[in-house]
Amino acid sequence: MTAGTSIGTVRCPFCQHPDSRVVDSRATDDGTAIRRRRQCPECGRRFSTAETASLTVLKRSGVLEPFSRAKVVAGVRKACQGRPVSEDQLALLAQQVEESVRAAGRAEVDAHDVGVTVLTPLRALDEVAYLRYASVYQAFESLDDFERAIARLRSEDAAPAAGRADQREATAAE
């Protein structure tokens, strides 16, 4: 949309005129919203609006609620309790989760899918917190489930390390 284009019925907050003209549009810093500067054709005053694409989460109870980064952070914070993870790292993780969920292109997402989406960035952040969180979202029922998850983490960590060792050996041989 270009500056000067009229949009639907955004009422002027000053004179309540039922229409306004867009003067300028800009994406917000994190790119999740558009800030529009508008002007009322009736009184001439300017005002700003913010537009966001709604993202709703379907809870197990069937209730729909808006996606909340704060809820992602709160859930992950429990798994990170006692771990060397900062609030800034948690906020970045929540942003990554929201971006991943939005990238799927759906306006409504299942709460369980949000929880599963947390796993990848959480693993990169802290493997102990990852195991704590995964035990809930992957429904661990026994110590065997934990042992399998730990074995999978070790084997996945060993594969890149082995690749780096092979690369170092090849470089040293040259």
Average pLDDT over residues 78-100: 94
Determine contact, residues 57/66, Cβ cutoff 8 Å. yes
Q: Indicate the pTM of the whole model.
A: 0.65
Q: How confident is the model at residue 29, as a pLDDT?
A: 65
Rg value, the chain, Cα:
24
- What are the pLDDT digits (tens) for 11-33? 999 999 999 999 999 987 666 78
Contact 21, 2 (CB under 8 A): no
pLDDT at 173: 47
Contact indicator for 28, 8 with CB cutoff of 8 Å:
no
Q: What is the pLDDT of residue 168?
A: 44
Is residue 56 over pLDDT 80? yes
Q: Is the pLDDT of residue 162 over 60?
A: no
Q: Among candidates 14, 84, 90, which has minimal Cα distance to 48?
A: 14
Task: Enter the tokens of residue 64.
Answer: 């729909």
Q: Per residue in 97-147, pLDDT tens?
A: 999 998 888 889 999 999 999 999 999 999 999 999 999 888 899 999 999
Q: Closest by alpha carbon to 3, among 19, 17, 23?
A: 23
pLDDT average, residue stretch 48-69: 91
